[in-house]
Amino acid sequence: MSNNHIASHVEKTLDKGMRYDNRKLLDFRKITLETGVSVNAEGSARVTIGDTEVLAGVKLDLGTPYPDIPDQGVMMVGAELLPMSNPKFEPGPPSIHAIELARVVDRGIRESGTIDTKKLCVKEGEKVWMMLLDLIPINDAGNLMDAFGLAALAALNDTTFPKFDSETEKVDYKEKTDKKLELSKLPIPVTVYKIGKNVIVDPLTDEEEAMDARLTVSSTEDGKLCALQKGGDITLSVEDIKKMIEIGIDKGKELRKVFESAK
């Protein structure tokens, strides 16, 4: 349910170069990142951006590979939008919003090629590691996408393989090996929003509701694009997209610094 008066007020504020919380248009709120927050997950992370707080967890399991890629492991990303984090979220099967969040995070990681899925193979055609990456919001105060993207990367970076007993063919989750999941690149998504003629990042809830269009730009540290996702009802011009990609890559560097400093 959008509200015209609330939305136009947000736009008026942005037109004067100001945000509701006294930030500049292209400023992020304060970001914190901590890893190893869950004992039972193989890798986990908690990210806060302002009042927004999310958790990411990686679980490793053994399974049979897909027939067309018998020598590669499997990665799956799922997001569950808990009703406690936002009154708009309803319990039940994943909403379009949840699926979009999970798929865009998935696309960024998958298409950057940061994980060598061939290294997840235990026995070709029979046994591979299945990697389940779960994303959960604790509090949604805007910009879940970028928070999820950062948390996902940090959780993957934190992931340690559990012990695999080749005789009994079972995984002992209590015993962790010192083998880490290797990340060759650091893909980070940044969502750039267009409200009226203004372009902003890291929106608050009110700003999210007032959005005309958004573009999620996932890029790696060498400035290469690995995923894009456009949302919102308004069309974007070629110039808009160029500008937004530039901002996305630029802000991605900023987020990568947060990631590096927490490592």
Residue 2 interacting with other proteins (CB under 8 A): yes
In sequence order, the β-bridge partners of residue 189 are: 218
The span of 3-11, 42-50, 90-98, 255-263 binding other proteins (CB under 8 A) equals 3-11
**Which DSSP state fits 91?**
S
In sequence order, the β-bridge partners of residue 219 are: 188, 225
Q: Cβ of residue 24: shortest distance to other proteins, in angstroms?
A: 13
Q: Cβ of residue 51: shortest distance to other proteins, in angstroms?
A: 12
Question: Could you tell me the CA-to-CA distances from 178 to 40, 79, 215, 233 in Å, in that order?
Answer: 16, 28, 38, 48
Q: Cβ of residue 3: shortest distance to other proteins, in angstroms?
A: 4
Element of type H or E holding 220: none
Q: What is d(CA 149, CA 247) in angstroms, rounded to the nearest whole number?
A: 16
Name the residue nearer to other proteins (CB basis): 21 or 169.
Answer: 21
Chain residues 8-27 in contact with other proteins, contact rule CB under 8 A: 8-10, 12-13, 16, 18, 20-22
Element of type H or E holding 15: helix 4-15
Q: What are phi and psi of 8, to 5 degrees?
A: -70, -25
Residue 44 CB partners (closer than 8 Å, separation 6+) = 35, 36, 37, 38, 55, 56, 57, 58, 155, 158
Chain residues 176-235 in contact with other proteins, contact rule CB under 8 A: 206
Q: Cβ of residue 143: shortest distance to other proteins, in angstroms?
A: 18
Name the residue nearer to other proteins (CB basis): 18 or 82.
Answer: 18
Name the residue nearer to other proteins (CB basis): 51 or 250.
Answer: 51
Residue 138 tokens read as 């604790």
The span of 1-9, 33-41, 70-78, 173-181 binding other proteins (CB under 8 A) equals 1-9
Q: Cβ of residue 25: shortest distance to other proteins, in angstroms?
A: 12
Q: What is d(CA 259, CA 262) in angstroms, rounded to the nearest whole number?
A: 5
Name the residue nearer to other proteins (CB basis): 13 or 160.
Answer: 13
Residue 5 interacting with other proteins (CB under 8 A): yes
Q: Cβ of residue 142: shortest distance to other proteins, in angstroms?
A: 14
Name the residue nearer to other proteins (CB basis): 10 or 45.
Answer: 10
Q: Cβ of residue 148: shortest distance to other proteins, in angstroms?
A: 24
Residue 262 tokens read as 């927490």
Residue 30 interacting with other proteins (CB under 8 A): no
Cα 258–Cα 100–Cα 92 angle in degrees, nearest 5: 110
Element of type H or E holding 148: helix 144-157
Name the residue nearer to other proteins (CB basis): 67 or 91.
Answer: 91
Residue 166 interacting with other proteins (CB under 8 A): no
Q: With contact defined as beta carbons under 8 Å apart, do 109 and 125 qualify?
A: no
Interface with other proteins by CB under 8 A: which residues? 1-6, 8-10, 12-13, 16, 18, 20-22, 206
